Amino acid sequence: MLRRQFLFLSALAGGLSLLSSTPSRGDNHSLVDPKASIAHQLKLLQAGDVDKLKECFTLRQKNKITKELVASSQQAATHMSIDDLIKTIQMGEFEGQKTAKITMQNGRTLTTLILTDGKWLSDTIWFK
C-alpha cells in the first residue's frame, strides 16, 4: 500500500515539474525547434498575422516584416506545405550562437534560424 502511494506521489510530482517547465505564452512552444518554428511562421503568414510573425524573426529583420509584404506573400503561402519548405536541417554554430540552416526540397536555402533566448528565429525573410 505504501509503495503504491509512493509511486502515485512520484508520478504526480513528475507531472507537476513538467507543467512548470511549459512556456507561459501560448506561441512560445512553436519556436522551440527549427521545424516547428518554420511551420508556425508558415501558419502565421497564411493567416496574415503580421505582429505575431514579427516575433519569429531576429531583431535585424523584424522591422522589414510589413503588412504589405505579408499581404503580397500570403496568396503564395496558401499553396505551400511544411514538406515543400523543409528537406534538411543542418545544425551549426556561428559567433557562439546555435544555427539551423533550412534547405528546401528544390535544394535552395530557405533561411537560417538562430537560437535566441530559447526560440529559433529566422534571420532572413524567406517568403519574399
Alpha helix positions (H), the chain: 2-20, 34-47, 50-54, 59-62, 67-77, 82-85
Residue 47: give the domain boundaries.
Answer: 30-122
Residue 9 lies in a domain: no
Domain count, the chain: 1
All three cell numbers of 81, joined, read 506545405
Residue 23 lies in a domain: no
Return the beta strands (E) in the chain as ranges: 88-94, 97-103, 109-116, 119-122
Q: Is the pTM of this model over 0.85?
A: no
Residue 4 lies in a domain: no
Residue 20 lies in a domain: no
Can you give the pLDDT at residue 29?
73
CATH assignment of the domain containing 91: 3.10.450
The DSSP bridge partners found for residue 102 are 89, 111
Residue 112 lies in a domain: yes
Q: In this predicted model, what pLDDT tens digit does every residue of 49-108 receive, in sequence order?
A: 999 999 999 999 999 999 999 999 999 999 999 999 999 999 999 999 999 999 999 999
